[in-house]
C-alpha cells in the first residue's frame, strides 16, 4: 500500500509514479485503487516495483539537490527484458483491468 488520504495529498500523489506513467489519463484520485494490481502485475513479470517511505524519499531528493549525493547512473539499474506494453489506445485502467474492478 502506498498511502492514505493525508500521505497522497502531502506528496501530491507522487507516491504513485508507476501508476501515473502506465495510465497518464487516469485521475490521480484513482491511483491508490489500482496500485495493488499494478504491483502484482510487476511481480508476475519479474519487474521491479520500488516503494520507499515518503520521508526517506524526500531526504534522498534533498541530498541530491544540495549535492551531497547523486542519482544512480542508468547502467546501474538491473537489465530487464520487456514483457508487454500497454497499447497506446489503452489510456485508462478500465481498458486494461476487468470491468468488475470498478475503474
**pLDDT (tens digit, 9 = 90+) per residue, 2-18?**
678 888 888 778 788 88
Please say if the pLDDT value at position 66 is more than 90: yes
Rounded CA separation 14/19 (Å): 10
- Report pLDDT for 2: 63
Least confident span in 47-56, 59-68, 83-92: 83-92
Q: With contact defined as beta carbons under 8 Å apart, do 92 and 85 qualify?
A: no
- Report pLDDT for 53: 79
- Report pLDDT for 45: 87
pTM here is: 0.58
Q: For residue 82, give Cα distances in angstroms to 22, 32, 90.
A: 14, 25, 18
Query: pLDDT averaged over the chain?
Result: 76
Count CB neighbours of 94 within 10 A. Answer: 15
Amino acid at each position: 500500500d502506498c498511502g492514505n488520504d493525508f500521505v497522497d495529498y502531502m506528496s501530491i500523489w507522487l507516491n504513485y509514479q508507476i501508476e501515473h506513467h502506465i495510465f497518464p489519463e487516469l485521475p490521480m484520485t484513482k491511483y491508490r485503487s489500482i496500485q495493488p494490481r499494478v504491483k502484482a502485475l510487476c511481480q508476475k513479470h519479474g519487474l521491479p516495483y520500488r516503494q520507499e517511505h515518503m520521508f526517506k524519499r524526500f531526504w534522498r531528493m534533498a541530498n541530491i539537490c544540495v549535492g551531497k549525493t547523486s542519482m544512480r547512473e542508468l547502467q546501474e539499474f538491473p537489465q530487464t527484458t520487456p514483457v508487454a506494453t500497454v497499447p497506446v489506445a489503452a489510456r485508462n485502467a478500465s481498458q486494461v483491468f476487468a470491468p468488475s474492478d470498478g475503474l
